[in-house]
Structure 1
Amino acid sequence: MSELTTVARPYARAAFEFASENNNIEYWYEMLVFASAIVENPTMAKILKSDRAKQEVGKLFIDICADQLDKNGQNLINVMVENGRLSVLPKVTELFSELVRKCKKEIDVNVVSAYALSKKQKTQLTQSLEKRLALKVNINCSIDKTLITGMMITAGDLVIDSTAKSQLNRLLNTLQS
């Protein structure tokens, strides 16, 4: 997974920087989402794994995208095809989206808890995270009854794990040392 991110990151940054310089971030995001959907299509996935020539795959892909890609978008696709990296386009799109949120000073935060959080708890948690991260927080909550108690908060690279399982593991490690 991290290897995929490492490969996709330079493409996402280049696309984001180009889109920013030309003030068309939303259009670039739409192009990337559309092209990513084509990459994820099972038929296209087979073609990408086949022994077809790179130029043939690139031309076919751009023909399928038709008017959904401008010249610059086509150039990105051609570079990715030439480098054998077109299959990472969905990850490029994901990283591009993260860069957009970062530019807007927003972050998506995933909260997994043992029980549903009340509206008041969500508000307090959002305010606390916004203060800590100095970003606008978009909170996504889910429930995992196997946690017993506590919650796991993931915001980009930050992970806050206050689950019972995590606390018991720390206690066990302390007692064993």
Structure 2
Amino acid sequence: MSQALTLARPYARAAFAIARDGGGLAEWSRALAFAARMAADPQVAALLGHPRLDDTDAVMLLAPEGAAQPFADFLALLAENRRLALLPEIAGQFEDLRADAERIVRATVTSAAELPAAELDGIRAALAKRFGRQVELETAVDEALIGGAVIAAGDVVIDGSLRGKLARLQSALAQ
């Protein structure tokens, strides 16, 4: 996995630079997301690995309808270098670069039960104040948390779950 991320990094940076310079970050995001979903599909992945599939056909398969020529050229470069399988990692790193450039923090709030909108708004406001950036929240439910929530934003994880508190208490008592 780390090797794929390492190999994908220069391609993601190049795609980001092309998209930023052309003023098309949103369009490139959509196109990369489409191509990444296609490349991750097991049937398409098997087809992409077939020796009789030429680069032009691979680009036609992965490029969304109406994609700009620079995006098709980018896919052609990936095909030529046999890096089409890296599209999911490239798309993920591209989104990280885009979020950083647009000063957005993506956070995931995992709670034991569905949280009301007012609570999510409070969490969003607190995170925006802490990071000094706009916050995009994603929610998930994990009943194993028992109560409370775990918030993951970038490299920061805030564990306010009852399960986490119990684990910390158990660790403290064991010492």
* Partner in structure 2 of residue 160 of structure 1: 158
Q: Letter of the 2:84 partner, please give it.
A: L
1:47 aligns with 47
Aligned length: 174
Tell me, in whole angstroms, the C-alpha distance in 2 between the residues paired with 1:137 and 1:108. 6
Q: 1:83 to 1:49 in 2, by over 3 A?
A: same
Aligned to 1:59: 56
- Closer/same/farther in 2, CA of residues 71 and 119 from structure 1, 3 Å limit: closer
- Check the 8 A contact 1:16/1:25 in 2, yes or no: yes
Q: TM-score, normalised by structure 1?
A: 0.83
Q: Name 1:73's counterpart in structure 2.
A: 71
SS in 1 for 2:82: coil
The structure-2 alpha-carbon separation of the partners of 1:117 and 1:33, relative to structure 1 and needing over 3 Å to count, comes to closer
Is this contact kept in 2: 1:31–1:68, CA < 8 A? no
Query: Which aligned pairs between 1:114-153 and structure 2 lie closer than 5 A?
Result: 114-153=112-151
- State the shift of 1:18 in Å: 1.5
Structure 1: gaps (5+ residues) = none
Q: 1:103-132: per-residue Cα shift (whole Å, max 9, x none)?
A: 221222110111232333222211111000
Quote the Cα distance in structure 2 between the aligned partners of 1:61 and 1:40. Answer: 14
CA contact (8 A) 1:47 1:57 kept: no
* Residues 1:68 and 1:124: Cα distance change in structure 2 (over 3 Å): same
2:90 maps to which residue?
92
Question: Matched residues, percent identical?
Answer: 29
Letter in 2 for 1:127: A
Residue 67 of structure 1 deviates from its aligned partner by 5.7
SS for the counterpart of 1:112 is strand
Contact 1:107 1:138 in 2 (8 A): yes
Which structure 2 residue ranges, 5 or more long, are not aligned? none
Residue identity in the other structure for 1:63: M
Aligned CA-pair RMSD: 2.4
Q: CA deviation at 1:2?
A: 4.0
Instruction: Give the TM-score normalised by the residue count of structure 2.
Output: 0.83
